[in-house]
Structure 1
Amino acid sequence: MTTDEEAFRSWAARAQQDLLRTAFLLTGDRHRAEDLVQEALAKVALRWRRLRDGNPTGYARQVVVRDNISGWRKRRREVLGTDPGRGGPGTQVRDHAPATERRIALDAALAALTPRQRAVVVLRYYDDLTERAAAEALGVSVGTVKSQAHLALARLREAAPELAELLGEEV
């Protein structure tokens, strides 16, 4: 194995879980997230010599986001739904820790966002990117990131008022 291959494998092993988390939060679908990460890692591998001394993780994140955007454009009429394993209205959750209940509510609230709003929320608040970095990853202006974040947070407040503490607000 060459030094470049070793360096790529080492980077990929470190970056894969963070990329998978981002992709899952963007899509809400584990299988789609895994596909997006695999495609991103393949694209980074092809450009490794150019990327290794720069920011390969930022490039990979951008590939994940943009490939996901391409996916929504192809399936524009598809509506984000809930996972059948989570149950629907009227399903009772028994003996779950409050953190688990909060996570389920958060997943449902994220599913209520538009794909662009969801991408902005994930990049800004889960991946802790700056507005500029999120704008670059999405290929939009900083103003678009700000407006989409504002709309997304308003929609989250409406969809899941019980999550106000996660938004840093008083209940």
Structure 2
Amino acid sequence: MEITGSLDAQRFSPQAPSQEDIDEYRRLSAEQAAGVGVVSTVWRGRDYAATVTAFVPVSYDPPTMLVSLYEGSRIAEAVAESGQWALTLLTENQRRQANWLASPGTPIEGLLTQLPFRRGPATGSTVLEGGLAYFEVITTAVHEAATHLLVVGNVVSMGSEAVVRAGLSPLLHYAGDYRAIKPQ
């Protein structure tokens, strides 16, 4: 059934949005809850890792993942150049790790010294200890999209190290903050 009346819409040119348009887009798109993960890679003998909320399981056959990374970031360059990466899905108990790896200006040297992790068996990328799940990925395509790189790849290793227990929740990002699912 069509509802009569008009939507409260703000029209703008996608080729030249104003700062107000960008801020409103950011506010409205934050109304979608997103899982929180850490993408990591090893490039030029160094570990790189960053918190992400824009990742998608693209296909089950073959298992394929996509992650969206800000093009000007160290992690985007490292992932694009290394050709392999890992994604660890975080639990609600890993807010500290998410905050640390999301902070601008975190050092490259010693980035992971305060975080418990293991090396993925296929890529050697870091997998955070206690995550809900992890996926190791070999990149098959990198697409430029506005200010971001969309990195797509085939999953070559996956698993879970989380101890499943009642009330365990994934870490979510919603309305500009970290959240957890409340059990009913």
TM-score by length of 2: 0.23
Question: Which structure features the higher share of strand residues?
Answer: 2
If each structure's helix is expressed as a fraction of its own residues, which one has the higher value?
A: 1
Structure with larger RCO (C-alpha < 8 A, sep 6+):
2
TM-score, normalization: structure 1? Answer: 0.24
